[in-house]
Amino acid sequence: MILVGTNAGAPAGTGSGVEVAIGFPAGLVFGSNQVQNRRFVHKINLVTFGRSSICLSYFPPESTRAAVMLTLSKLLLLSCIISFVLGAPALVPSAATPSSPGGNVSTTVAGPYSPVITSSNSSSTSAVSSTASSASASTSGASTTGVITIPLSSYSFTPYPTPTLNPRPPVFPATDPLNPPSVSSDPQVVPDFAPAWTTAYQKAKNLISDYTIEEKVNITTGVGWANGLCVGNIPPNKNFPGLCLEDSPLAVRFADYATAFPAGIQVASTWNRALMRARGLALGQEFKGKGVNIALGPMMNMGRIGQGGRNWEGFGADPFLTGESAYETILGLQNGGVQATAKHFINNEQEHFRTSESSNVDDRTQHEIYAHPFLRSVMAGVSSVMCSYNLVNETYACNNDKMLNDILKREYGFQGFVQSDWSATMSTLSAVAGLDMTMPGDITFDSGDSYFGGNLTDYVNDGYISMARLDDMATRIIAAWYFLHQDEAYPATNFNAFNPTDEVTNKHVNVQADHYKLVREIGAAGTVLLKNKNCALPLDKPRNMVLIGSDAGPGKSGPNEFSDQGGSDGILAMGWGSGTGNFPYLISPLEGIQERARQDGSSVFWDFDDWNTALAGNMAYGQAVALVFTNSDSGEDYITVDGNEGDRNNLTAWHNGDDLILAVAAQNNNTIVVVNSVGPLIIEPWIEHPNITAVVWAGIQGQEAGNAIADVLYGAYNPSGRLPYTIAKDLADYPAQLVTDDSGSEIVTIDYTEGLFIDYRHFDQANITPRFEFGFGLSYTTFTYSELCVTPIHSSDTDQEDLITAWENGKASPIVEGSSTALWLHEPAFQVTFKVTNTGLVSGTEIPQLYIHFPSSASEPPSVLKGFTNVEISPYDTEQVSITLSRYDLSIWDVVAQGWRKPDGQISFSIGASSRDFRLQGDIPT
Ligand code: BGC
């Protein structure tokens, strides 16, 4: 039996495998429930290199591996004989691997497998843009016939050399992760972690020098689901104490005495690097205090789809904002001592079919949009990257040579290790594709077997995976531990994620310090004021007020009513799934507001029944202020809430929100709406209602939610949050929609046909007016901008003048290890300065944003965010502001040359208060 069209390699760029499924007696099952069935999948990777060789990698089920290998050897031998006699393509077993990194992909291959390959590969290329396909074709020197070599990859299996140059302070200082560069609202330092990695690698190599194969394999293989204290565990070995891996991006999951921080989307909404860093550091300290070695965050998927269930864990719908948020979060986390994990690599943009969908993404979009935050993570010295469940261009992400070996490890020079998402490992040979650690270890939860473990040992013993590669895997994992100095008196794990009542393993260490203050500040700083008429806000000692809606109060059974927050009752301060933690407490808006009411002498009434709109209207009547609270929730696919299987079914307010708001607005001409939402909502039913005087987009704020909301409502915090995504007038206005129909396919195809045009980039290009644009947010004061100036900055990288000159002349950067993270590309190249004046009566923080307008030759969206800063200004004061730009910021990814290139023509830019509110305009000097 032949399976056609389910597995194919990444079509774009260079060096990807073309996977071909072939039939064996055990039968082929490539079901949508891959967790159950994937052990029976048989796959072959077929890649051509240069003119004469084809690498063939085989993915057998563990049980039939030996028998099949034997059959395969016979087949190869037979093929050699036929080849010799007839001059036909031969299959020649050889241990040698071609050394061309980024080997070329053939789209048509003659020989016995050609019908399968052609069909499979063409199905994958059809999904990508013509630019990507042409790149593949033009870089390909592949022949269609020739020797087939086993095994396995174009890569040498040795650790990649340290990227870029020697450290060069002040711009490029040697940096230890425990001592990162200080935070700046306009960062100009590019930390060089390479020396710290080199030292860590030396120590790691020493440590494993006397390890047996089994011991090295143990370092790469989790102990299995729920077999240790943490959600993931690497066992101890000799002097190595083992590793604890624990969620989440916003808390130490399943622990007590830990803080429930605002979600990623909230800190992104602050557009404030200092708050991003501070949150990372506080989280890092808490993880360390609990004895967690590896924190499973930050999460940085791109919010491609507004309904995406896990968008709130991440940093919004723009790669630059996400990249900066990830960069600061990782510097903070690792400064706190814990290893950070950049996840999920890559294209896990929706929860429906997350284990059985292929995200088909062209090479340029992958580089410029989805991979960019991971590049910034590598530049922050991230210790680990987690590969995702889905397929990327029809190859599973954890089995994806192109993404793991070629882009992450080679192009970005990533020195840490790749771990799988939980049960996302697809085969033992994923090790060859770049996977270093399998989590939680077993193939499916509790299955008691593993693709690594004994199977990896056998593969190494039998020569299918080289010892050098196993050494590299173990070295990377242990090096990351040394890199964070976790060998130096790091606390032992002192909580039990799976058994919180066991008094032996739960030491109840209180790690919260005074982090609640930061939670409150980020909660307020990430709140976006969308509408404010008649000076409705800030509240000024209202005589009386009513709070309407369940989101204003506590949940009936407390803040941890639902396991993994998989439910919605009361104030929404977290989404659901593995990206959560337990609340130590949760301040509701009622509590936060009543505290102020007590000081002001205001009377407070409330009604939390979302469905009794008549009562809500009656209660609102005659009040000085009527505050209506509503929300919208989402999460991870393993929990369904109110019919929402992770992703949101729609973008409308939950709990009868629209009708409730309208009922209140009908009775009170000072109605203020407060929204706690995981992402955008369609608010057309009420946004222009004349009685709705203010709208506060409060977001996902963590344990201090009610206090943070009160701070903004009363002006204790002058709002400075800005939208990290677009709020559209209509769901159909967004460029990409959630796929919920598998159309009977075992692997669901999701083509990223919108390419670079996600979120505001699409609205700008298609000339669609949004309700509120990306980057929008009001303040209780106003600002003006003036005196724009742009100055080139002389490079500190004198060794690479040739590269800089070539770039200035429009040549793409060369591709070598670490080439995409090189200093010359990322150091400040231009400084943009201007002045901002506070023209109002109160102090406030402005968030100036810089958008690049590329020349038409670049085929880029009209405006692309490449800089932002935050500046606090007293009334009537003026502050000088600086935003720097690197050559990378001014480049596009050239799919043919496979490098970063300045496009032909004049690059201009705008500075403004949102993606559509430009105040100053300039040109980049040529
Ligand atoms: C999630 C990861 C998480 C892991 C461990 C998976 O389901 O996708 O984000 O880190 O579980 O809990």
* Per-residue DSSP letter, 207: H
Q: Find tokens 């090295």 and name the residue.
A: 216
Selection from 730, 791, 724, 785 nearest residue 759 by Cα: 724
Measured in Å, residue 422 CA sits from the centre of ligand 1 at 6
Measured in Å, residue 12 CA sits from the centre of ligand 1 at 28
Q: Is the pLDDT of residue 379 over 50?
A: yes
Selection from 728, 782, 783, 786 nearest residue 758 by Cα: 728
**Structure tokens given for 878:** 């003026």
**Given this model, what pLDDT does residue 155 score?**
54
Selection from 165, 209, 235, 7 nearest residue 817 by Cα: 165
Q: Is the pLDDT of residue 116 over 50?
A: no
User: Which residues have CB under 8 Å from 818's CB, separation 6+?
Assistant: 160, 161, 162, 163, 164, 411, 412, 413
- Report helix, strand or coil for 303: coil
User: What mean pLDDT is predicted for residues 306-329?
Assistant: 98
Amino acid of residue 405: N
The residues facing 911 across adjacent strands are: 850, 920
Measured in Å, residue 421 CA sits from the centre of ligand 1 at 6
Contact 674, 719 (CB under 8 A): no
Single pTM value for the model: 0.86
Which atom of ligand 1 is the closest one to the Cα of 313? 9
Residues in the chain: 926
Q: Give tens-digit pLDDT for 234-245.
A: 999 998 999 999
* Per-residue DSSP letter, 368: I
For β-strands 748-751 and 357-360, DSSP reports them as: parallel
* Per-residue DSSP letter, 626: E
How far apart CA 820 and CA 826 sit, in angstroms, is 9
How far apart CA 184 and CA 170 sit, in angstroms, is 14
**Structure tokens given for 196:** 């710290």
How far apart CA 626 and CA 671 sit, in angstroms, is 5
Instruction: For 44-86, give the DSSP string.
Output: EEEEEETTTEEEEEEE--GGGHHHHHHHHHHHHHHHHHHHHHH
Q: C-alpha distances in angstroms, 259 versus 249, 371, 510, 698?
A: 12, 30, 10, 19
Measured in Å, residue 782 CA sits from the centre of ligand 1 at 43
Q: What is the CA radius of gyration of the chain?
A: 27
Ligand 1 site, residue 296, Cβ cutoff 6 A: yes
- Closest-CA residue, ligand 1 atom 5, reads 422
Contact 385, 343 (CB under 8 A): yes
**Given this model, what pLDDT does residue 300 score?**
95
Average model confidence (pLDDT) for the chain? 85
Give me the active site residues, please: 421
* Per-residue DSSP letter, 584: S
Rounded to 5 degrees, φ, ψ at 879 are -120, 145
Which atom of ligand 1 is the closest one to the Cα of 389? 8
Measured in Å, residue 441 CA sits from the centre of ligand 1 at 13
Q: Find tokens 């060998």 and name the residue.
A: 487
Q: Give tens-digit pLDDT for 546-565.
A: 999 999 999 999 999 999 99
Among 75-89, 156-170, 473-487, which stretch is predicted with the lowest mean pLDDT? Answer: 75-89
Q: Is the pLDDT of residue 141 over 80?
A: no
Pocket residue to mutate for ligand 1, from 348, 418, 421, 425, most atoms within 8 A of Cβ: 421
CB neighbours of residue 26 within 10 Å:
16
Burial 455-479 (b: 16+ CB within 10 A, else e): bbbbbbeeebbbeebbbbbbbbbbb
- Closest-CA residue, ligand 1 atom 12, reads 578
Ligand 1 site, residue 231, Cβ cutoff 6 A: yes
With cut-offs at 50, 70 and 90, classify the pLDDT of residue 147.
very low
How far apart CA 531 and CA 693 sit, in angstroms, is 7
Ligand 1 site, residue 343, Cβ cutoff 6 A: yes
- Closest-CA residue, ligand 1 atom 11, reads 422
With cut-offs at 50, 70 and 90, classify the pLDDT of residue 169.
confident
Ligand 1 site, residue 422, Cβ cutoff 6 A: yes
**Given this model, what pLDDT does residue 161 score?**
53
Measured in Å, residue 865 CA sits from the centre of ligand 1 at 30
Burial 413-444 (b: 16+ CB within 10 A, else e): bbbbbbbbbbbbbbbbbbbbbbbbbbbbbbbb
Ligand 1 site, residue 578, Cβ cutoff 6 A: yes
Pocket residue to mutate for ligand 1, from 35, 231, 247, 565, most atoms within 8 A of Cβ: 247
CB neighbours of residue 840 within 10 Å:
16
With cut-offs at 50, 70 and 90, classify the pLDDT of residue 465.
very high
Rounded to 5 degrees, φ, ψ at 453 are 50, -130
**Given this model, what pLDDT does residue 506 score?**
98
Measured in Å, residue 331 CA sits from the centre of ligand 1 at 22
Amino acid of residue 308: G
**Given this model, what pLDDT does residue 44 score?**
30
Ligand 1 site, residue 391, Cβ cutoff 6 A: no
**Given this model, what pLDDT does residue 119 score?**
25
Pocket residue to mutate for ligand 1, from 296, 354, 418, most atoms within 8 A of Cβ: 296
Q: Give tens-digit pLDDT for 750-761.
A: 999 999 999 999
Selection from 216, 437, 412 nearest residue 341 by Cα: 437
**Given this model, what pLDDT does residue 239 score?**
87
Measured in Å, residue 577 CA sits from the centre of ligand 1 at 8
Pocket residue to mutate for ligand 1, from 229, 346, 578, most atoms within 8 A of Cβ: 578
**Given this model, what pLDDT does residue 431 score?**
96
**Structure tokens given for 9:** 């390699």
Contact 635, 566 (CB under 8 A): yes
How far apart CA 537 and CA 533 sit, in angstroms, is 8
User: What mean pLDDT is predicted for residues 865-888?
Assistant: 98
Pocket residue to mutate for ligand 1, from 387, 422, 647, most atoms within 8 A of Cβ: 422
User: What mean pLDDT is predicted for residues 415-442?
Assistant: 97
How far apart CA 547 and CA 566 sit, in angstroms, is 25
Selection from 155, 45, 156, 60 nearest residue 109 by Cα: 45
Among 75-84, 244-253, 568-577, 894-903, which stretch is predicted with the lowest mean pLDDT? Answer: 75-84
The residues facing 224 across adjacent strands are: none
Which atom of ligand 1 is the closest one to the Cα of 344? 9
Percent of the chain with pLDDT over 70: 82
Q: What is the dihedral of CA 902, 907, 911, 912, to 10 degrees?
A: -100
How far apart CA 19 and CA 437 sit, in angstroms, is 22
Which atom of ligand 1 is the closest one to the Cα of 348? 8
Measured in Å, residue 247 CA sits from the centre of ligand 1 at 7
Ligand 1 site, residue 421, Cβ cutoff 6 A: yes
Q: Give tens-digit pLDDT for 508-560.
A: 999 999 999 999 999 999 999 999 999 999 999 999 999 999 999 999 999 99
Contact 104, 142 (CB under 8 A): yes
Ligand 1 site, residue 637, Cβ cutoff 6 A: no
Q: Is the pLDDT of residue 259 over 60?
A: yes
- Closest-CA residue, ligand 1 atom 6, reads 422
Which atom of ligand 1 is the closest one to the Cα of 247? 10
User: Which residues have CB under 8 Å from 765's CB, separation 6+?
Assistant: 757, 861, 862
With cut-offs at 50, 70 and 90, classify the pLDDT of residue 164.
low
Rounded to 5 degrees, φ, ψ at 296 are -90, 65
Q: Is the pLDDT of residue 104 over 50?
A: no
**Given this model, what pLDDT does residue 88 score?**
29
Torsion sign, CA atoms 412, 16, 305, 856: positive
With cut-offs at 50, 70 and 90, classify the pLDDT of residue 55.
very low
How far apart CA 777 and CA 779 sit, in angstroms, is 7
Contact 428, 151 (CB under 8 A): no
Q: C-alpha distances in angstroms, 375 versus 320, 328, 371, 821, 822?
A: 11, 13, 6, 7, 11
Q: C-alpha distances in angstroms, 847 versus 264, 643, 703, 773?
A: 18, 38, 26, 14
3-state helix, strand, coil in the chain (%, to 5): 30, 20, 50
Q: Is the pLDDT of residue 869 over 50?
A: yes
Ligand 1 site, residue 397, Cβ cutoff 6 A: no
